[in-house]
Amino acid sequence: MSPTPNTIEPDTKDWTWVLDRPCPECGFVADDLSVERLGAAVRDNAAGWEPVLAAPGATARPDPGVWSPLEYACHVRDVHRVFRERVQAMLSEDEPRFANWDQDETAVAANYAEQVPGIVTLELVAAAAAIADLYDTVPGDAWGRAGVRSNGSEFTIETLGRYHLHDVVHHLHDVLAERT
């Protein structure tokens, strides 16, 4: 079934491959970042969203089937929140199983397109800071703690953190590419 106008076709790809090889679209290389820099990298990415959301046209979709910068930013904010919950679970439980999170359902239910860019900026930066602070406090011997996504993908805190960072880096890349 193809999407109707102004709907986004759900992304059904399994992006876990970015942990093993560079992303040809955004250039992200998971192994290029030490876990000690993960929190700082998340904060740096969040700062990159501020000018995007302040720019004219932040609420406009470049194409009916492509999220606006605002919608992408709402998604990134929520990604930070979801990953914080997951890392907290991995730190406090043995091999937690993560509930499915449907990003497309969330975008509709939370009405991403109608949110206010200035508020989303503040929320995104706060959510990024919260997960970045958590990454900064992961004890050295805990990076290998495991968790399992609803589709069966297994992660450690380290691989989940790298996967998380790719997600937000890739989305900022997508938004900036649309502007050029």
**Which is more confident, 124 or 6?**
124
Please, which pLDDT band fits residue 11 given cuts at 50, 70 and 90?
low
Token output for 168: 């937000």
With CA atoms as reference, report the closest residue to 18 among 137, 177, 153: 153
pLDDT at 9 over 80: no
Per the DSSP assignment, residues forming a β-bridge with 90 are: none
- Assign 91 to helix, strand or coil: helix
- For each of the domains in the chain, give its residue range(s) and CATH number, in order of start: 23-179 (1.20.120.450)
pLDDT tens track for 107-141: 989 999 999 999 999 999 999 999 999 999 999 99
Q: Express each pLDDT in 85-116 by its tens digit.
A: 999 999 999 999 998 888 889 998 999 999 99
- How confident is the model over 141-166, as pLDDT tens digits? 999 999 999 888 899 999 999 999 99
Question: Is the pTM above the cut of 0.75?
Answer: yes
Query: What single-letter DSSP state applies at residue 114?
Result: G
- Classified as helix, coil or strand, 150 is coil
Residue 31 is inside which H or E element, if any?
none
Q: CA-to-CA distance for 168 and 56, rounded, in angstroms?
A: 21
Tens digit of each residue's pLDDT (9 = 90 or more) over 21-67:
999 999 999 999 999 999 999 999 999 999 999 999 999 999 988 99
Task: Return the amino acid letter for 137.
Answer: T
